[in-house]
Structures are given as C-alpha cells and as structure tokens.
C-alpha cells in the first residue's frame, strides 16, 4: 500500500536515534519509496493533464467523474509530499549522527558514498570553523570543568606520553594522576579510563 | 572567577599598575558569563559578541603562553609558582568552557534554524563571519546529500526544502513564546508594557528577578523593541519549561509577573511561608504566589494545591 515504505523508514530512523553507531543506509527501502513517488507523480500529472469538463450541473455523471479525478490527484499529491518528508526526516537524522561523529572524532566506516562525501565535507567545514579559535578546544567537554587533574587508568599498552608535567608510561591497568586536558583525547580514543 | 586578581597578588611589584587591567578583565568575565547564559536560555540566536570574544580570546592566549613559559622552568623556579600555575590553569579551563559552550550553543541553533536564519536578514546579521561560512557550507553539503540520495529523482516542484504550505512548514522556527526568567541589571524608569492591555505595565527595578511569560519574546512590536533595546539592562537568567507551562495558561496570559520582595519571606521549618509584607508587588490572581530575589540568586516559589512547594 502507498505510504507503507515511509512508515518503515521512519521506524528505522527511530531505531537509529538510540544507536551508538550509524546503521547501514537502507538502500532498498529508499529506492522503493522513490519508485512509489515516481508512480504517484505519473498519476498526478495524468489526471491534471486531462481537460477539465465544463461545469454542467445538469450532467450528473460528468460532475461525479470530475470530482473523482480531483480527489485522486489530491490524494496522490499528498502521498508524494509525505514520502518526501519521510525521506528527509530519515536522512536528516542520519546527517545529525554524522555531524556527531565529526565532532567526537568517531571513526566508523560509512558504506554509502554520498554520505561519506557529506561527512568529509562537514569535517572540513568544522576544521575551517575551528581554525578561527586556535587556543580553544571546541570539541572539549560541554560540562563545566571541576578538576584540572584527574586520576586515570590505562586500558591498553600505549607507551610513553609526554606532558608538560613529565612523562607517563601508559600500560594496561597502570594508574596515574594527570592533567585532564592532556589525557582527554586518550580517554576519548579508549586508551585510558577515568577513575 | 577572577583570575586577574590572583595574578595580581603574586605579582606584587606590578600590583598598582595592574589594577585597572584586572578590573577590566573582571568585567569582561562577567560579560562573558552574561552572554553565555543569555545565549543558552534564549530561544532565538542573539547577536554575536565580537569585541568581547576578541578581548577574551586575546587574554586567554596570554595566559596560556604564561603557563607554557613557566611550566618549562618549573624545576628551577621556586615552589610558589606551582600553585599559581594551577590556579591560572583552572581559570583557563573555566573560561575556555564558557567560550566553548557559548560557541557551540550558537552552532546548534544555527544548525537547527538554518532555513529560518537564511530567510531573515536580521538573523544573518547576528552571525559572525565564521558562523555564516559554517552555515552556508553545511547547508550546501546537506542539500547535496538530499539531492544525490533521492530528491533528484523527483519533479522540480517536489524538490524544495523550504515549503511552508500544506499544513506543515518545513522551516523550523525558534519558539518565541517560550517563557524566560530575567534579572534586571539596571532600573528602567519608564514602565514597560508587556501585553496589549493598557494595564499591563511593569517597572523593572534593579535587582529584581522575574519570570517573563511569552509576551517578552512575542513578536508584538513593542516587546521586540523592548528586548532589543533593553538587553543591556536585563538579562536572561533561567528558562524553565515546566513552570512556564503552568503560567502560560489562560489565566496568566495577560497578567503581570508576580514579584515579591525578599524581605517578605520567612522560613517556618518544613515549608517556606510566603508572607505578604512591605515592598510586595503581586499581580497574579490565579493562586500563584511567587517570590524571587536577591542579587545573583533566585528563589522560586509557587503555591500548589497541596501546599507550598519551593524550588531553587
């Protein structure tokens, strides 16, 4: 039935909302909706192309037919717009997920090459914006800072890390006290863990 | 929050000459906090604080350089410098956080209301150069993505991204009806009209914190001008949906904010009693007694059917 694809896609988007990673692009569903919309476009243009009958109140049958045509056209246009909005909502959510990946430096493969292109463009857009504020780490935490030093534990063997306050040898389950700005990136990348 | 003062303290030889400087830094910090909280709590994007940001970023750079320079010599210099460095570093972190949060709040508003901002020249004027570039570039990438994935298969009439007809607008607009809390920084002598009613006049006195309902943001001409003109005099301190929702009902629509003086409240153990004392301004008639006040702090009370509830 018309519109079913849209609902499926929206449900997929809803599921995506709570996922950590970006799920696979629903190529098939999207193609199905595009085809459906194309069919509707044909219907809509066919019905509007037909000459409108002169309103003749005496001819009951013709008026009926006229109304039927108008209704068909109206419904198909509505369905087209709805499909478009479902597609947009789905992709908008995915683009927001990708923006999030760009902000948080999350590396994950993206299969769809249009999406990959978008992510690359957004990343360079971000780098461009950040370059105006070189002394500031715009990707840093959005909660107010409490301590400048935090205690961390190593999760992997990384080796020696140089900081302004000396060097740390990060090995698995080693613990040390470090400046939060120095180790923030390492925590994000999963090498360290905050205790 | 005042790191220049601390800075001045250890640097006693230059203390006198630093005084003005420190006062200025302090003001800038207060201004930054204000700009940040205004931006965080306003539904729409506000004007970018060009000069302030430039000054603050300049100072931040100085401090970072100072820390870098001194931490290298940490072994050779005397121990006092360590604690100073830590204090300065904490302050750098805090100021960085404020700027970061300020900028990212703006970016999130730009992302959310791109179409709305693009269509309104006034809004575009409020953005900084970098923000405008960011917005244009992001929209370009997004449009390209949509086109490549599906829009290009459709008729031209179905490709638009800024349609407003058909019962559902595609343009997200900031909710200007959202209630906000304000604190008055400078007294405004002339009473201000909030609604269409002649009686909806309120005089904003310094130190008063008040909750302003939808009318503050509403597009009625007088209120918009009011906000633009008086932004320096009043600033947003809090925006709270739940309470706003209760007040936004039919009964409150055209009523003024109930403001109570702090002198009129006494604590009586379990609950808080709101007494009606001197200096009381109470405009509400729907059972709400509200109390807000004290410089820098804001207590918010409202009566509920079960008694008095206090919220801080």
pLDDT tens-place string over residues A166-176 = 777 777 878 87
DSSP string, B85-144: HHHHHHHHHHHHHHHHHHHHHHHHHHHHTHHHHHT-HHHHHTS-HHHHHHHHHHHHHHHH
In a domain, B248, yes or no: yes
What are the CA-CA distances from residue B131 to residues B14, B172, B288 (Å)?
39, 18, 42
In a domain, B142, yes or no: no
Answer whether B166 sits within 8 Å of A81, measured CB to CB: yes
Give the gap in angstroms from C-alpha A115 to the nearest C-alpha of chain B.
7
Domain boundary among B112, B146, B171: B112
The pLDDT value recorded for residue B230 is 37
Confidence of residue B74 (pLDDT cuts 50, 70, 90): low
Give the gap in angstroms from C-alpha A111 to the nearest C-alpha of chain B.
13
Helix crossing, A27-49 with A60-104: angle to 10°? 150
The pLDDT value recorded for residue B202 is 63
CATH number (domain holding residue B79): 1.20.58.1030
Backbone angles phi, psi at A69, to 5 degrees: -60, -45
pLDDT beneath 50: ranges in chain A: none
**Same domain for B19 and B100:** yes
pLDDT tens-place string over residues B262-277 = 333 333 222 222 332 2
Domain boundary among B112, B130, B149: B112
Report yes or no: A137 at the B interface, CB cutoff 8 Å: yes
Write the ipTM. 0.81
Closest residue, chain A, to B70 (C-alpha): A164
Domain tally for chain B? Answer: 2
Report yes or no: B205 at the A interface, CB cutoff 8 Å: no
pLDDT tens-place string over residues B204-244 = 666 555 555 443 443 333 333 333 333 333 444 333 222 22
Domain boundary among B87, B112, B137: B112
Residues 245-304 of B with CB under 8 A from A: none
**Same domain for B221 and B303:** yes
Residues 143-162 of A with CB under 8 A from B: 144-145, 148
The beta strands (E) that lie in chain A are given as 149-154, 159-163, 166-170, 175-179, 192-194
Best mean pLDDT range from B96-105, B189-198, B280-289, B290-299: B96-105
The pLDDT of B5-11, averaged and rounded, is 53
The pLDDT value recorded for residue A40 is 87
Q: How many helices (H) and strands (E) does chain A have?
A: 5, 5
Q: What kind and span of H or E run contains B253? A: none
Centroid of chain to Cα A150: 34
- Name the residue range of residue B270's domain: 180-311
């Amino acid at each position: 039935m018309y519109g079913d694809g849209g609902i499926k896609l929206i449900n997929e988007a809803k599921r995506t909302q709570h996922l950590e990673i970006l799920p696979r692009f629903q190529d098939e569903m999207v193609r199905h909706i595009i085809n459906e919309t194309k069919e509707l476009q044909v219907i809509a243009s066919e019905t509007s192309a037909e000459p409108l009958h002169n309103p003749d109140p005496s001819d009951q049958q013709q008026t009926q037919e006229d109304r039927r045509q108008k209704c068909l056209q109206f419904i198909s246009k509505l369905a087209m717009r709805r499909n478009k909005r479902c597609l947009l909502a789905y992709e908008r959510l995915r683009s927001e997920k990708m923006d999030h990946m760009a902000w948080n430096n999350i590396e994950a493969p993206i299969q769809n090459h249009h999406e990959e292109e978008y992510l690359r463009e957004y990343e360079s857009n971000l780098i461009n914006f950040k370059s105006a504020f070189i002394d500031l780490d715009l990707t840093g935490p959005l909660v107010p800072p409490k301590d400048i030093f935090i205690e961390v534990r190593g999760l992997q063997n990384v080796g020696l890390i140089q900081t302004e306050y000396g060097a740390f040898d990060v090995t698995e389950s080693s613990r040390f006290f470090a400046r939060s700005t120095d180790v923030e990136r390492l925590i994000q990348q999963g090498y360290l863990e905050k205790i | 929050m005042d790191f220049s003062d601390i800075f001045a303290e250890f640097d006693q030889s230059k203390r006198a000459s630093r005084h003005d400087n420190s006062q200025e830094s302090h003001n800038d910090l207060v201004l930054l906090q204000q700009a940040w909280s205004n931006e965080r709590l306003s539904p729409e994007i506000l004007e970018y604080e060009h000069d302030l940001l430039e000054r603050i970023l300049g100072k931040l750079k100085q401090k970072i350089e100072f820390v870098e320079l001194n931490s290298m010599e940490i072994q050779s210099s005397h121990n006092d410098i360590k604690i100073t460095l830590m204090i300065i570093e904490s302050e750098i972190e805090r100021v960085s956080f404020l700027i970061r949060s300020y900028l990212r709040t703006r970016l999130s508003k730009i992302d959310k209301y791109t179409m709305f901002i693009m269509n309104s020249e006034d809004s575009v004027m409020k953005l900084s150069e970098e923000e405008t570039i960011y917005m244009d570039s992001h929209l370009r990438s997004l449009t390209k993505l949509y086109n490549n994935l599906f829009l290009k298969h459709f008729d031209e009439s179905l490709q638009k991204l800024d349609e407003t007809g058909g019962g559902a607008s595609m343009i997200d607009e900031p909710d200007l009806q959202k209630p906000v809390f304000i604190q008055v920084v400078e007294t405004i002598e002339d009473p201000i009209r909030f609604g269409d009613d002649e009686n909806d006049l309120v005089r904003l006195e310094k130190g008063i914190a008040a909750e302003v309902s939808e009318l503050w943001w509403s597009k009625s001409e007088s209120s918009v001008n009011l906000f633009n003109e008086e932004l320096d005099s009043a600033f947003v301190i809090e925006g709270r949906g739940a309470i706003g929702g209760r007040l936004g009902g039919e009964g409150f629509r055209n009523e003024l904010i109930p403001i109570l003086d702090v002198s009129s409240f006494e604590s009586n153990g379990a609950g808080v009693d709101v007494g009606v004392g001197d200096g009381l301004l109470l405009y509400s008639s729907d059972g709400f007694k509200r109390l807000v006040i004290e410089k820098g702090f804001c207590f918010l009370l409202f009566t509920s059917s079960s008694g008095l509830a206090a919220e801080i």
